[in-house]
Amino acid sequence: MRWWDIESVHALEKDLFPDDAWSRGMFWSELAHARGAGSTRRYVVAHDGDRLVGYAGLAASGTDYEGGSGVGADVQTIAVARDQWGTGLGARLLTALLRHATDFECSEVTLEVRVDNTRAQKLYQRFGFEPIGVRRGYYQPGNVDALVMRLTDPSTSVTPVQGTENG
């Protein structure tokens, strides 16, 4: 993702997540941490011709989920245009993020997903993510809970563990 993608990314964000969409400023801030030698973020986009149809982002941190010595990463976002659902694009975006986590030498990757988003949960499970907790009222303003999921050793999970790549 580059600065010139932000308008298209933001439009897709508002369409898919109308109640809790990220602002343009949030994307600008994330991209500020995605360049240079000390970068801690990776954001990718997908196009169908000239149209942006998906994006995803990852943030690396200094510690793993439980505060240990391993390097952890967190999937910040994955979004796929509705007309691209079921094409495998979500799986390709997640694969790109896991490759970046491996480049960052992360020992694990975590994420939060809405408890009512079973489609995304199934995608993450196919890649080996396992539920480890719930964050009550995480998604605002709807007060929707988030399921916290974790994948240990992303270097071995850059392809789905089961089934197809629909996502």
Q: Which pLDDT band, with edges at 50, 70 and 90, does 65 fall under?
A: low
Radius of gyration of the chain (CA): 15
What is the per-residue pLDDT across 84-130, written as a single tens digit (0 to 9) for each?
999 999 999 999 999 999 988 899 999 999 999 999 999 999 999 99
Residue 71's pLDDT is 81
C-alpha span between 30 and 14 (Å, rounded): 17
Q: Which pLDDT band, with edges at 50, 70 and 90, does 24 fall under?
A: very high
Say whether pLDDT at 163 is over 60.
Answer: no
Of residues 67 and 117, more confidently modeled: 117
Residue 19's pLDDT is 86
pTM for the model stands at: 0.87
Residue of 137, 143, 151, 128 whose CA lies nearest to 75: 151
Burial class (CB in 10 A: 0-12, 13-18, 19+), 92: middle
Say whether pLDDT at 156 is over 80.
Answer: no
Residue 138's pLDDT is 93
DSSP per-residue string spanning 72-90: EEEEEEEEE-GGGTTTTHH
Say whether pLDDT at 16 is over 80.
Answer: yes
C-alpha span between 56 and 46 (Å, rounded): 9
Q: Where are the alpha helices (DSSP H) in 3-117?
A: 6-16, 24-32, 89-103
